[in-house]
Chains A and B, each alone.
Chain A
Amino acid sequence: MSVANAPVDNGVNVEALLGVRSALADTPDIAQFRWRATTSWLRGTHSQSSIETFYGFGEEQQHKTTFTYDADHPLQFAAQDNGITPVEYVLVALGSCLTAGIAAVAQQRQIQLRSVNATIEAEMDLHGILGADPEVRNGFSGIRVSYEIDADASQKDMEALVAQSQKRSAVYDIITNPTNVTVKVN
C-alpha cells in the first residue's frame, strides 16, 4: 500500500503562510490589516450585512465576490426568522476560525485530516438583554466547543492540535479577551 506514504494534503498552503511570516521581518507594515463590513437595517430585527473589501499587505483588497448575510431573530421572539441571530454568527465565527486553525496546524505537523466536525454551544440568560436583572450579563455566560476529528494522529496529538489552534485563533482571542469598541453616529 502506498497510502501511508501519500503526502499530507489538507488543502492548506502552509509554505505561503510561512512565507508571509518571513516577509514580515523586512516589511512589518504589511501585517497591518483592517477588516470591514457594512450593515443595513431592513425591517424589524432583520438586517443585511455585506462584506466585499478589506485592507492588508499594504493595499486595498477585494474578496472574489460580495458576500451578504441576513440576521434576524426567530419566530419565538415575534420576529420573522429571515436569518440567524447575531449571537449565532459569533458561534459561526468561532467554529470556523478554530477549524481553519486545525487544518493549518495539522498541515504543518504533517497530520492528514479525514473529517473535522465541531459542535459549538453557548449559554445565555435572557434576563440580561431584556434588562430584567442587572446582575446578569447580556452576552454568553460560557461557550463550549466539542470536536470530532478523524485523522492519522493519536488522541494526544489531536488534543495538541486543538489547543494550538485556540492559541493562534483571532476569534478565540476576541471572545476570551476584552476589546475596545467605539461606536459613533455621523
Chain B
Amino acid sequence: MPHVPVAIVGAGHCGLAMSRCLASRSIDHVVLERGEVANSWRTERWDSMRLLTPNWFSRLPGFAYDGPDPDGFMTAAEVADLIEGYAADGGAPVRASTTVRAVRPADHRGYGIQTDQGDWTADAVVIASGACNVAHVPAVREALPPQVTSLTAADYRNPAQVSEGGVLVVGASSSGIQIAEELLRHGRPVSMAVGEHVRVPRRYRGRDILWWMDAAGVLDERYDEMDDLVRARNIPSLQLAGSPDGAMLDLNALTGHGARVLGRLAAIRDGVALFSGSLPNVCALADLKLGRLLDTLDAWAVESGIDVPEPPERFPPTVVLSAPPLEVDLRRGEIRTVIWATGYRPDLSWLELPVVNARGRLVHDGGVTRFPGLYLLGMPFLRRRKSTLIDGARADAADLTEHLAAHLDSLARHGQVAATR
C-alpha cells in the first residue's frame, strides 16, 4: 500500500491552494479527486450561474487574475477553467477519477484512505471536498402533495426544466434569489418563502460590495474573534448575484419583477403550505444589518482617507405586504413546482472519524480537528468570514499548512516518520 505524507481530498480551489502551499515547502502529497479538477463547477451548477465574487477577487496562492475584465463575474465553466489552469500551472499531483470511499485511522500511524483506485496511507489528511455537496432540504418536504414537483437548487439547471405554472422558491439567499429572478424573467409566477437573509447591494458608492468588505477587513474577521461562532458559521449566504449590470437583487427587486414574497415556510398541513407571520421582522433584521454594514464601510472610508467615487447612500427598507398570505393551497394547481434553495451541506459520509458533534455540527478549531493530522478546508467561517469564498482559501490554506508542517515535524522528531521531507 503506498504511503504519502499528506493526502488532500478534493481538487477544487481549496485542495489545490493547499497543494500549492505544501509544494512550496516541498511536502510530498497527493490530491485525490473523484472526477476531474473543479468537478462540481463542471457538473453541479445551474446553466446561467456566475461566480458571486468579481474576477479580481479570485486570488489563490501563486495566482492573481490578469484578464481583461477584473470587475466581471465568471460563468461556472470559466471558474472550472481557471481552477484547471491553476492545477496545471502548479503541476499539482492530482489523481483524477479517484473516489475516496473511506478515511479511517491506520493501524500504526496516520490514516488509511480507501479509494476505488487502490488504498493509501498518509500521515495527514486534508478534507477539501467542499461545503456544498448536497442540498439541504427541510423535513417539511415530506408533506408536499403528490401533484407538486420538488426540485432542489442543486438539481435546478434552467427554466425549461421547470413545468409551466407557478413556482414556490423556498429560501432567499444567493441561490434562491437568482433562481427566482431567472424564472420570473421566463414568465413563471414566482412565490418566495423568506426566512432570515443577508441583504447587500451588488455595488456601493461606485464599487463592488466585495471590494468594500475586503478593503475594510470585514471578510478577514477571524473565527477566534467572534462572540458567537455558532451563529457566525450559520449565517446564510449573501443575497448576491454575479450580475454583469451591477443591479441589486434584493426582495424589493424581485417584488418589482412580480414575485410574491411570503414568510418562511413553516409547515405543510393537509396539502396547504403555511407561512410564518415573521416576515416583517426578518426583513427588518436584514435592513438593520445592512445599515450597520454600510455604517462600518463608511466609517472605514473616512478613517482610511481613501477616495470613493460616490457619496454614502442608504437603501429603502424592504417592502412587505401589509398582510402577506399565511397559507397557499398546494393542491389547487397554483403552485406546480417547489424549489428548495434552503442551503447545502458537506457530504462526509466516507469519513469514519467522529468530527461532528451530537447536533451534527463539524467540530474543529479553525480547520484543525481533534484528530492529529486531520484538517478541514472551505467550510463556513472556517478561519475567516471569507473562508467559503475562493479568496478565503489563500489565507486558510497558508495557516493550515503551517500547522500541518509542525505536525509532520513533530512526528519526525518522535521517530514515527522516516525522512519524508
- Could you say which of B80-88, B123-131, B245-253, B271-279 contacts chain A? B271-279
Closest Cβ–Cβ distance, residue B334 to chain A (whole Å):
18
Q: Which of A48-56, A85-93, A112-120, A174-182 contacts B (4 or more CB under 8 A)?
A: A174-182
Q: Which residues of A contact B276 (CB under 8 A)?
A: 176-177
Residue-wise, chain B 20-32 has the 8 Å CB interface mask toward A (1 for contact) of 0000000000000
Q: Does A9 contact B (CB under 8 A)?
A: no
- In the bound complex, residues from chain B placing their C-beta under 8 Å from that of A164 are 285
Question: Within 8 Å CB of A138, what residues of B?
Answer: none
B267 and A167: CB pair below 8 A? no
Q: Which residues does chain A contribute within 8 Å of B264, judged by CB atoms? A: 177
Are A176 and B278 within 8 A (Cβ)?
yes
Chain B residues within 8 Å of A28, by CB:
358-359
Contact B266 A177 (CB under 8 A): yes
Chain B residues with CB below 8 A from A173, complex form:
278
Instruction: For the complex, give the distance between the alpha carbons of A51 and B360 in Å.
Output: 36
| Interface status of B269 (Cβ within 8 A of chain A) | yes
Contacts of A141 in B (CB 8 A): 323
Determine whether the beta carbon of A178 is less than 8 Å from that of B285: no
Chain A 151-183, CB within 8 Å of chain B: the 1/0 string?
A: 000001001100110110000110111100000
A142: interface (CB < 8 Å): yes
Interchain CB contact (< 8 A) of B285 among A163, A172, A175, A177: A163
Interface size for A (C-beta < 8 A) is 16
B358 — which chain A residues lie within 8 A by C-beta? 28
What DSSP secondary structure best describes chain B's contact surface?
A: mixed
Q: How far is the CA of A141 from the CA of B291 in the complex (A)?
A: 31
A172 touching B284, Cβ below 8 Å = no
Contacts of A159 in B (CB 8 A): 284, 288
Minimum CB–CB distance for B417 against chain A, Å: 35
The answer to whether B269 and A166 touch across the interface, beta carbons within 8 angstroms, is no
Is B263 a contact partner of A176 (Cβ separation < 8 A)? yes
Tell whether A172 pairs with B278 under 8 Å between CB atoms, given A28-B358, A156-B291: yes
Are B281 and A163 closer than 8 Å at their CB atoms? Answer: yes
In this complex, what residue of A is CB-closest to B289? A160
- Tell me which of A142, A167, A176 contacts B323 (CB under 8 A): A142
CB-contacts of B304-349 with A (<8 A) = 323
Chain B residues in 8 Å Cβ range of A163: 281, 284-285, 288
B266:A167 contact, CB within 8 angstroms = no
- Which chain B residues border A156 with CB–CB below 8 Å? 288, 291
- What's the Cα separation between A56 and B406 when bound, in Å? 46
Query: Which among A141, A163, A175 has the greatest number of chain B C-beta atoms within 10 A?
Result: A163
B263 / chain A contacts, CB cutoff of 8 Å = 176
In the assembled complex, which residues on chain A have CB atoms less than 8 Å from the CB atom of B269?
A: 178
Contacts of A178 in B (CB 8 A): 266-267, 269, 274
**Considering the complex of A and B, which 8 residue pairs feature the smallest CB-CB distances, nearest first?**
A176-B277, A177-B266, A166-B281, A176-B278, A178-B267, A163-B284, A163-B285, A178-B274
21 chain-A/chain-B pairs, Cβ below 8 angstroms = A28-B359, A141-B323, A142-B323, A156-B291, A160-B292, A163-B281, A163-B285, A164-B285, A166-B278, A166-B281, A167-B285, A172-B278, A172-B281, A173-B278, A175-B277, A176-B263, A176-B278, A177-B264, A177-B266, A177-B278, A178-B267
Given A141-B323, A176-B277, A177-B266, 18 additional A-B pairs, CB 8 A = A28-B358, A156-B291, A159-B284, A159-B288, A163-B285, A164-B285, A166-B278, A166-B281, A167-B281, A167-B285, A173-B278, A176-B263, A176-B266, A177-B267, A177-B277, A177-B278, A178-B269, A178-B274
Q: Which residues of B come within 8 Å of A, CB atoms?
A: 263-264, 266-267, 269, 274, 276-278, 281, 284-285, 288, 291-292, 323, 358-359
